């Protein structure tokens, strides 16, 4: 069965410090990978998605970047965190089923980031 | 884009009653729809999905209804239980894209 791992679960970082959040998927090949952010009491904002190694699509210009160095690894980074980067960061994956349709998104348990 | 509003709409139902959570989706070209349940501090959990060639799909205690004419999606939960208390999100996907766009969410509170 497929599993998704995100770490760390919680993180407190000072303004101006760098960030690296990691996500790995097991049990599937060539997944589509996603980073979403969720502010308190709000919905899910798509930040980045990737359909293959080294392929990154950015949805919202901001202080963050993403990389996919391996098939099942997705990394969210920042060189200098801002207070507004605080939030709940969620990694997710999907695959093609029946050759044409996408599966649902499957989410990790998220990283709660507080920038102080 | 991102949902707006600091306060999620809330639906309060008595334990044992049926719940209906509604969602208006944005893109008439969307052909795939998903409902998620999110408990506090956790990632969204898949509940049920439906493709645009259907107007109803049933799972265990849940039913999703799709009305493409008015771009409306609903999730019905039968015999609501305390464990159903959570925030529920709908998501849509448009063919030819890889993006899943989420609705604003509804908080379901189950009253004992």
pLDDT confidence of residue B7: 64
A interface with B, Cβ–Cβ below 8 Å: 32, 34, 36, 39-46, 49, 51, 57, 59, 90, 92, 94, 101-102, 104-110, 112
pLDDT confidence of residue A109: 95
Burial class (CB in 10 A: 0-12, 13-18, 19+), B1: exposed
pLDDT confidence of residue B31: 92
CA distance B50 to B55: 8
Calculate how close chain B gets to A26, using CA atoms only, in Å.
Answer: 17
CA distance A4 to A22: 11
Q: Please give the structure tokens belonging to residue A80.
A: 């200098």
| pLDDT > 90 fraction of chain B, expressed in percent and rounded | 83
- pLDDT tens-place string over residues B14-71: 999 999 999 999 899 999 999 999 999 999 999 999 999 999 999 999 999 999 999 9
- Strand segments (E) across A2-72: 3-7, 10-13, 19-26, 32-38, 44-52, 55-58, 65-70
Q: How confident is the model at residue B4 (pLDDT cuts 50, 70, 90)?
A: very low
B interface with A, Cβ–Cβ below 8 Å: 1-8, 32, 34, 36, 41-46, 49, 51, 89, 91, 93, 98-105
Calculate how close chain A gets to B61, using CA atoms only, in Å.
Answer: 19
Q: Return the residue matching tokens 């159903």.
A: B84
| 8 A C-beta contact, residue B11 and residue B21 | yes
β-pairing verdict for A87-94 and A73-78 = unpaired
Contacts of B36 in chain A (CB under 8 A): 107
Higher pLDDT, B49 or A1: B49
Calculate how close chain A gets to B91, using CA atoms only, in Å.
Answer: 9
pLDDT confidence of residue A99: 58
3-state secondary structure string across chain B:
CCCCCCCCCEEEEECCCCEEEEEECCCCCCCEEEEEEECCCCCCEEEEEEECCCCEEECCCEEEEEECCCCEEEEEECCCCHHHCEEEEEEEECCCCCCEEECCCEEEEEEC
């Amino acid at each position: 069965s497929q599993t998704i791992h995100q770490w760390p679960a919680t993180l407190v970082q000072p303004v101006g410090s760098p960030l690296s959040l990691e996500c790995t998927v097991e049990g599937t090949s060539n997944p589509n990978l996603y980073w979403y952010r969720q502010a308190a009491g709000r919905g899910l904002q798509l930040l980045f998605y990737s359909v293959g190694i080294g392929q990154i699509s950015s949805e919202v210009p901001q202080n963050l970047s993403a990389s996919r160095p391996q098939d099942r690894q997705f990394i969210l980074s920042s060189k200098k965190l801002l207070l507004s980067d605080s939030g709940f960061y969620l990694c997710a994956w999907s695959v093609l089923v029946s050759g044409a349709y996408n599966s649902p998104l499957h989410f990790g348990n998220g990283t709660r980031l507080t920038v102080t | 884009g991102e949902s707006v509003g600091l306060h999620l709409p809330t639906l309060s139902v008595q334990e044992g009653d049926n719940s209906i959570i509604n969602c208006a989706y944005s893109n008439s070209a969307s052909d795939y729809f998903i409902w998620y349940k999110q408990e506090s501090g956790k990632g969204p959990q898949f509940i049920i999905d439906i493709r645009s060639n259907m107007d109803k799909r049933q799972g265990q205690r849940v039913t999703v209804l799709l009305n493409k004419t008015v771009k409306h999606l609903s999730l019905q939960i039968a015999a609501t239980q305390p464990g159903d208390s959570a925030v529920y999100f709908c998501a849509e996907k448009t063919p030819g894209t890889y993006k899943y766009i989420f609705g604003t969410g509804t908080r379901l509170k189950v009253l004992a």
